[in-house]
Amino acid sequence: MDYETIILEKRGNIAFLTLNRPERLNALSPQMTEELSAALDEVDDDDEVTALVITGAGRGFCSGADVGGMAGGNQQSESSARNAEALRQGLIRSAGRVQPKLQKLKKPTIAMVNGAAVGAGCDLAMACDLRTGCEKTRFMNAFVRIGLFPGWGGTWLYPRVMGVGRALEFLFTGDFMEAEEAGRLGVLNRLVPSEELEKETMALATRIADGPPLAMRLAKMQVYKGLNMEFETALGIAAACETITLGSEDHREGVTAFREKRKAAYKGR
């Protein structure tokens, strides 16, 4: 598929997706959300891709959603009730089509946060499994600053990424979280100089992408599902998942490669 607001390329077994509206600091337009949704389907269906990196073109990651269609913007409807319903449906079409797909993608995902990630852009980064950043990286829940609830999933995502207390402060104040604090809190898995960001991100992505896809897919699924289940239940599911991997070609290849002192060539089977 040809895209106009994003760039999707394959770098070996890694999909590299760039939000490409630098003149708008990569703000999420309706077209961009549609293209993001399609691109995530494309990545998930591509068996040659085993990891995804998302970043922004230019000097920012993503400044959030375009605000022209909001109730206080230039396109206010004569009927506030009708406008509210239109906005709700719009969020279902946008956030609802992108965020669940991203969070549930079968492959590991990394947000390479090269600049500001604000509002929906912050939530987009938080929906990825891992995040890398540099001194230019900063996060902000911009919704509260304009009297809005974070409709791109922040209230679900933030506590899981940074803990409940810090998440609530982040939500209540709308203050920026700068790169150093994001690194200290573990919001960023890697914090490196800006000139090394892509190199270090790709090194991390390559290390992950070369791992056993089946085992990692099951691990990712159970990490997220396990946040909402009792430990005994999680142990039962873990036993079933390990049984699946014990009978896999990847397990046999991993053991053989270990014995032969070579790098394993996993195929996800």
Look up the pTM and report it. 0.90
Say how far apart CA 18 and CA 29 lie, in whole Å: 14
pLDDT the model gives residue 75: 46
pLDDT for 65 = 87
Show Cβ contacts of residue 76 under 8 Å, excluding neighbours closer than 6 positions: 83
What local confidence, expressed as pLDDT, does residue 95 receive?
A: 86
139 and 187 in contact (C-beta within 8 Å)? yes
Dihedral of CA atoms 105, 134, 175, 64 in degrees, nearest 10, equals -50
Please, are residues 38 and 2 in contact by the beta-carbon 8 Å criterion?
A: no
Per-residue tens of pLDDT for the chain, all 269 residues: 789 999 999 999 999 999 999 999 999 999 999 999 999 999 999 999 999 999 999 999 999 987 654 444 444 444 555 555 555 555 566 788 899 999 999 999 999 999 999 999 999 999 999 999 999 999 999 888 888 888 899 999 999 999 999 999 999 999 999 999 999 999 999 999 999 999 999 999 999 999 999 999 999 999 999 998 999 999 999 999 999 999 998 999 999 999 999 999 898 88
Q: N- to C-terminal Cα distance for the chain?
A: 27
Give the model's pLDDT for residue 92.
60
Q: Which helix (H) or strand (E) holds 9?
A: strand 6-11
Token pair 């995502």: residue? 157
